[in-house]
Amino acid sequence: MTKTDPDRHTSGNFKLSFEFFPPKNADMDVQLWETVEELARWNPDFVSVTYGAGGTTKAPTLVAVDRMISVAGLSTASHLTCVDASKQEVHDVVEELRGIGVKHFVALRGDPATGPGTAYKPHPDGYENAAALVRGLREIDDFQISVSAYPEKHPESESTDVDIDMLKRKADNGATRALTQFFFDNTMFERYMERVTKAGITIPIVPGIMPIQNLTQLKRFAGRCGTSIPAFLDERFAGLDDNPVERAKVAADVAAEQILDLQRHGISEFHLYTMNRAPLVNAVLENVGYRPLRQSAA
């Protein structure tokens, strides 16, 4: 794997980051590293690697993060959750990750090990929520700390006001930026940003963009995340179930149009959920005119 040049190549002053998840088997491992190699040519500002509830993917996360830093030469953030873990257990993981060069964490409460939608109970000796985790990380070292934000509010939040109050607590405790849950309605995002600004939150709010690999699967996932699926997506993908080539073109167009519209409204940083697949992400970035550091080897 070729290390990227430290000089970033961007188009129209927009920064770029990617999310990956640790592989669960040998085939997925091959796919991940092929994807990382392919997407590294875009020279992202950073990449992030997810981390399971209660540390259920701790080992593969550590391996993936280590390789992304030491082999791919990518600035890599590790997700970190506090669910079902004591403060000491969280600190131990932080030290392991710091030992392999991690200087950036995505600090999350995390879903209960019993699954999304089940009741959350803080560990009696742990951090009670993501805001407390941010404060704890800030006390350990001067890390970059990204946190989550929810344009349509977290599914468990009582209200949007409560949700934004939590975001403000994370920002006040030392968060560097917020990465949003994916969304498809930019008007809704603009309304959310108005409320964020009114609340006095000044950290960058980075839109999470989800290129649509499979609309049916996305709808199931979005339902668990509290993300709405606008009617126009059904219209754009209508009749394409048996036409994967055209479906991929539409998916790339949809994500590119969303990014370009957000750029027109002053957004200059985007976080792409890759699903460990490169082709659609490549197509989206090509459609918006982003310039890669080098051409694909394919």
Q: What is the CA radius of gyration of the chain?
A: 19
Report whether 54 contacts 86 (CB < 8 A).
Answer: no
CATH number at residue 97: 3.20.20.220
**Mean pLDDT of the 257-272 span:** 96
Predicted confidence at residue 293, as pLDDT, reads 75
Residue 65 belongs to a domain: yes
Number of domains, the chain? 1
Residue that has been written with the tokens 């959750």 in this structure: 81
- Condensed to tens digits (0 to 9), the pLDDT of residues 155-194 reads 888 899 999 999 999 999 999 999 999 999 999 999 999 9
Name 292's Cβ contacts closer than 8 Å, sequence gap at least 6. 9, 41, 42, 43, 285
Residue 54 belongs to a domain: yes
Residue that has been written with the tokens 């977290």 in this structure: 154
Q: Count Cα neighbours of 238 within 13 Å in the Cβ-side half-sphere.
A: 5
In the predicted model, is pLDDT for residue 3 greater than 70?
no
Predicted confidence at residue 121, as pLDDT, reads 78
Cα(245)–Cα(262) distance, rounded to whole angstroms?
26
Predicted confidence at residue 2, as pLDDT, reads 34
Residue 297 belongs to a domain: no
In the predicted model, is pLDDT for residue 30 greater than 80?
yes
Predicted confidence at residue 52, as pLDDT, reads 64
% residues pLDDT > 70 (the chain): 90
pLDDT band with cut points at 50, 70 and 90 for residue 296:
low
Residue 194 belongs to a domain: yes
In the predicted model, is pLDDT for residue 248 greater than 80?
yes
Residue 107 belongs to a domain: yes
**Mean pLDDT of the 25-40 span:** 96
Report whether 73 contacts 45 (CB < 8 A).
Answer: no
pTM: 0.91
Q: Tell me, what DSSP letter sits at residue 247? A: H
Neighbours of 291 (CB within 10 A): 12
Neighbours of 202 (CB within 10 A): 10
Angle at 218 between CA 214 and CA 219, to 5 degrees: 125
Report whether 85 contacts 55 (CB < 8 A).
Answer: yes
Using CA atoms of 255, 259, 261, 265 in order, give the dihedral in degrees to the nearest 10: 160
How high is the mean pLDDT of the chain? 90
Report whether 9 contacts 44 (CB < 8 A).
Answer: no
Supply the residues annotated as catalytic.
19
Q: Tell me, what DSSP letter sits at residue 205? A: E
Residue 294 belongs to a domain: no
Residue 6 belongs to a domain: no
In the predicted model, is pLDDT for residue 200 greater than 70?
yes
pLDDT band with cut points at 50, 70 and 90 for residue 5:
very low
In the predicted model, is pLDDT for residue 67 greater than 60?
yes
Predicted confidence at residue 223, as pLDDT, reads 85
Predicted confidence at residue 118, as pLDDT, reads 67
Predicted confidence at residue 12, as pLDDT, reads 46
Predicted confidence at residue 226, as pLDDT, reads 86
C-alpha distance across the termini of the chain, in Å: 14
Give me the domain span that covers residue 89: 15-287
The residue count of the chain comes to 298
In the predicted model, is pLDDT for residue 287 greater than 50?
yes
Residue 298 belongs to a domain: no
pLDDT band with cut points at 50, 70 and 90 for residue 10:
very low
